[in-house]
Amino acid sequence: MEQDLFKAILRERGLKVTNQRLLVLETIADHPGEHLTAEEIYELAKDKYSEIGLATIYRTVQVLVELNVIDKVSFDDGFVRYELGNAAEVKRHHHHHAICKKCGKVLSFEGDLLETLEQALYDTAGFTVTDHEVKLTGYCRDCTKEKESVRKNI
Amino acid sequence: MEQDLFKAILRERGLKVTNQRLLVLETIADHPGEHLTAEEIYELAKDKYSEIGLATIYRTVQVLVELNVIDKVSFDDGFVRYELGNAAEVKRHHHHHAICKKCGKVLSFEGDLLETLEQALYDTAGFTVTDHEVKLTGYCRDCTKEKESVRKNI
DNA sequence: ATCAATGCAAAGGTTTTGCAAAAAT
DNA sequence: ATTTTTGCAAAACCTTTGCATTGAT
């Protein structure tokens, strides 16, 4: 996402363009494929602007999620995480995640295999799907071998 | 899940069978289709055994998740919730959820549309999937109409 | 000039932990 | 008899909020 587009989105909503908001988005954009927590964004942002406060990070990510500029994800480790979204597209294509139960590694991927399910949900229950999230858990390639030897005894 | 099976699972792992553990599982089992928080389980359990402590609920749900007796789910409202799992089955069939963004209603459903995706993930990345969770957000039948009238102005 | 956004510190809410007492094996 | 589990309270934790100050329009 270009900075100018982001500024336009802010102004369109009557929100002010601040250095802190630009910095938070830039920080997330500079770490593609990572799923940063508020604390991590804070630490990274402080390197460029040490006066920034943690509360500003929390308030800013709320705004960014609201604007569909970033997505909120959770891997059930007690942290809420954020990753770049794709606000400009009409049809959202969220990342899906495969989380290794052993080493915690996260594999991200895309895929629109849910369209038939979403249509069926509308037809049967009248539910209009606007967003979806697929979370897979299991064992990554490196941990699969180890897992098998452990599981044998159970 | 029958209580005897649960007792057997506990003993198999060297864990002790306590009235509190039986009560927590019973409480969750008695509320099918609801996704209870720790606090809600606590309030319900107190009706039957008023001496029980909230810390025991937290410790017990951790055990139950570990044993695959219950599943942990989150609808991003700040609460971790729990629902009955199906530990006995070799292949887990989790509930999927459609969460209404307006009224918060949760529609649960099942479906194994992810098998081809999971196979593909193994073939391409060596990732062995053991669990999956699909979370859809949107608008339920009752809220869909209202949503349309709201969205027209945007 | 006005109104929103920030930074700090304090408060909020959920979840975890330390420890002595109680319960299960 | 031994070891785990419980209950209570305190602590830890992430996140939100109040308020005066700063910054954007």
Q: Are A111 and A95 in contact (CB under 8 A)?
A: no
Q: Are B129 and A136 in contact (CB under 8 A)?
A: yes
Please give the residue that has the higher pLDDT: either B120 or B20: B20
Cα gap A132→B68, rounded to integer Å? 25
Q: Can you give the pLDDT at residue A36?
A: 97
Nucleotides of C under 7 A from a protein CB: 4-10, 13-18, 23-25
Cα gap A138→A136, rounded to integer Å? 7
Q: At what angle are helices B54-66 and B19-29 packed, to 10 degrees?
A: 70
Give percent of chain A with pLDDT exceeding 90.
Answer: 49
Q: Can you give the pLDDT at residue B61?
A: 98
pLDDT at A150 over 50: no
Q: Are A128 and A122 in contact (CB under 8 A)?
A: yes
- Which residues of B are less than 8 Å from A134 in CB distance? 114, 117, 132-135
Residues of chain A with CATH 1.10.10.10: 1-88
Task: Pick from A81, A136, A153 the residue to mutate for testing the B interface (most B CBs within 10 Å).
Answer: A136
pLDDT at B146 over 80: no
Superfamily the domain A91-154 falls into:
Ferric-uptake regulator, C-terminal dimerisarion domain (3.30.1490.190)
* pLDDT bracket for residue B136 (50, 70, 90): confident
Cα gap A112→A68, rounded to integer Å? 19
Cα gap B154→B152, rounded to integer Å? 6
Q: How many contacts does A have with B, using Cβ atoms within 8 A?
A: 113
Least Cα separation, residue B97 to chain A (angstroms)? 10
Q: Are A83 and A71 in contact (CB under 8 A)?
A: yes
Cα gap A47→A111, rounded to integer Å? 35
Q: Are A132 and A119 in contact (CB under 8 A)?
A: no
Least Cα separation, residue A37 to chain B (angstroms)? 15
pLDDT at B82 over 70: yes
Average pLDDT on B122-146 reads 85
Cα gap B45→B20, rounded to integer Å? 9
Nucleotides of D under 7 A from a protein CB: 4-10, 13-18, 23-25
* pLDDT bracket for residue A26 (50, 70, 90): very high
pLDDT at A74 over 80: yes
Q: Are B80 and B38 in contact (CB under 8 A)?
A: yes
Q: Looking at domain B1-88, which CATH architecture does it have?
A: Orthogonal Bundle (1.10)
Cβ-defined contact of B126 to A140 (cutoff 8 Å)? yes
Beta strands, E only, chain B: 36-37, 70-74, 80-84, 96-100, 106-109, 128-139
Cβ-defined contact of A134 to B131 (cutoff 8 Å)? no
- Per-residue pLDDT reduced to its tens digit, A121-143: 899 989 988 888 888 888 888 88
Which stretch of A90-104, B8-22, B97-111 has the lowest confidence by average pLDDT?
Answer: A90-104
Instruction: Give chain B's mean pLDDT.
Output: 86
Cα gap A89→A60, rounded to integer Å? 22
Average pLDDT on A37-64 reads 98
